[in-house]
Amino acid sequence: MSQIRTIKGTHDILPGETDRWQFLEKIIHDIGSMFGYQEIRTPIFEETKLFSRSVGEDTDIVSKEMYSWKDRDGTDLTLRPELTAPVVRSFIQHSLGTSAPVQRLYYIGPSFRRERPQKGRQRQFHQFGFEAFGSGNPEQDAEIIAIAWQILSELKLNESTALQLNSIGSKDCRMAYREALKEFIRPNLDQFSEISQKRFNTNPLRIMDTKAAHEKKILEGAPSISEFYSDEDTRHLESVQNFLSVMNIPFGFNPGLVRGLDYYTRTVFEFTSDLLGAQDALLGGGRYDNLVETLGGRYTPGIGFAAGMERFLMVMKGSGQKSTISKAFIYFVCSNEEILPTALFLSDGLRKAGFSVITDPLRRSMKAQMREANKLNARYALILGDTEVEQNTIQVKDLKVGDQVSISQSDLIHHFQHLTK
């Protein structure tokens, strides 16, 4: 009798390997709680239209890589090829947006794509990812990227990875760019492949993703999306870059980065690794301000990333040590937009020292932020106003005991190390 084996592109994770998986999962859980994110678990299969409507009909994923079938009652079902769409579906279905103005979620689990298997590319692979709903502000983009950076740092992978950043503008910007790009391509359209010609009508931006050398050559003089940014798009991008610099996160600006999925708006980013071969994308993400609405919910801006667990494990050396993240839960109350860089710098320092810190990406009043800190059961509130910034101090309020002290900003980490000893 012939032996039954795993299906092409799928792998057993054997006992000798599971400790490394558990180690990586632990880091993801720990960093998730350090930033105040909670885990969400959604089903492995969903209605097919969830992915065709969000990821996009003419993307590789939807057009040729999904495992889809008709259920006995005629419903079209699909093994999830990614998790953002399922998380958004769940967010809408359970009205998660009504229970808190910012929802911070993360996930870990298998995804399925019928790609040609090769090193770093499986048909069943595992992803982890983070999604934040509710804030369209650039500090939220910076926080999502900081989470990715923190995970890479914890795994000592930050030296071998590079962050590429781009903005693909808001919807109006992309509409105008789309037309300009079509005008540019039209005279040479017959020299493009069948697939690019199809994309010309459905999604011309994706033609910029082409790998074909002769198409790349024609596209060399193509207009750049940055020429079509609105003032707000430009400001948003500049703020994201500024906040990343405050947190010492190195990045490169790559105007060619468009990413394959249809739902992105403004910020898109990707971390690639020197230690991977041809499939060098370790983690990718972006802002998706219209996705909740596209899938039938109320307008809610969002941003997130997804990363491949197998690719992480390929580049991680050894089995790692125990993570040292502390649970002391701090809510950072920031009084106005001007002092955001100081707030981001200080909370980043606290997290690097192992403390769990939540910041408000909605720029709400200090009163509303204090209310939120209590609602989330934070143990401490850090209060930063203009006076504190002027004097290089910060107020530390113990929310359990109720007392409040003013300390020097340079003593902040030391103060918390002492408090939690």
Residues binding ligand AMP (CB under 6 A) = 82, 113, 115, 120-122, 125, 127, 281-284, 306-308, 310-311
For ligand AMP, the closer of residues 282 and 396 by Cβ is 282
Tokens describing residue 394: 């910060």
Element (H, E) at 387: helix 386-391
What is the spatial distance between Cα 278 and Cα 154, in angstroms, rounded to a whole number? Answer: 25
Phi, psi of 126 (to 5 degrees): -120, 140
Tokens describing residue 226: 């940055």
Kindly state the smallest distance separating residue 307's Cβ from ligand AMP, in Å. Answer: 5
For ligand AMP, the closer of residues 142 and 309 by Cβ is 309
For ligand AMP, the closer of residues 122 and 347 by Cβ is 122
Go through 34-49 and write b for each residue having 16 or more CB atoms within 10 A of its CB, e for each that does not.
Answer: bbbbeebebeebbebe
What is the spatial distance between Cα 198 and Cα 189, in angstroms, rounded to a whole number? Answer: 10
Kindly state the smallest distance separating residue 275's Cβ from ligand AMP, in Å. Answer: 13
Kindly state the smallest distance separating residue 56's Cβ from ligand AMP, in Å. Answer: 12
Kindly state the smallest distance separating residue 78's Cβ from ligand AMP, in Å. Answer: 15
Kindly state the smallest distance separating residue 196's Cβ from ligand AMP, in Å. Answer: 20
How wide is the angle at C-alpha 150 spanned by C-alphas 239 and 37, nearest 5°? 85
- The residue length of the chain stands at 421
Kindly state the smallest distance separating residue 257's Cβ from ligand AMP, in Å. Answer: 11
Phi, psi of 143 (to 5 degrees): -65, -45
Kindly state the smallest distance separating residue 209's Cβ from ligand AMP, in Å. Answer: 12
What is the spatial distance between Cα 177 and Cα 204, in angstroms, rounded to a whole number? Answer: 9
Name the one residue in this structure whose structure tokens are 């509303």: 368
Under a CB-based contact definition with an 8 Å cutoff, are residues 246 and 345 in contact?
yes
Residue type, 160: S
Residue 55: which of 260, 266, 286, 203 has the closest Cα?
A: 260
What is the spatial distance between Cα 388 and Cα 404, in angstroms, rounded to a whole number? Answer: 14
For ligand AMP, the closer of residues 125 and 228 by Cβ is 125
Kindly state the smallest distance separating residue 310's Cβ from ligand AMP, in Å. Answer: 5
Kindly state the smallest distance separating residue 304's Cβ from ligand AMP, in Å. Answer: 10
Minimal CB distance to ligand AMP: which residue?
Answer: 308
For ligand AMP, the closer of residues 55 and 399 by Cβ is 55
For ligand AMP, the closer of residues 297 and 304 by Cβ is 304
Name the one residue in this structure whose structure tokens are 């790559």: 254
What percentage of the chain's residues is helix, strand, coil (to nearest 5)?
Answer: 45, 20, 35
For ligand AMP, the closer of residues 30 and 82 by Cβ is 82
For ligand AMP, the closer of residues 117 and 296 by Cβ is 117
For ligand AMP, the closer of residues 291 and 412 by Cβ is 291
Element (H, E) at 3: none
Phi, psi of 166 (to 5 degrees): -155, 165
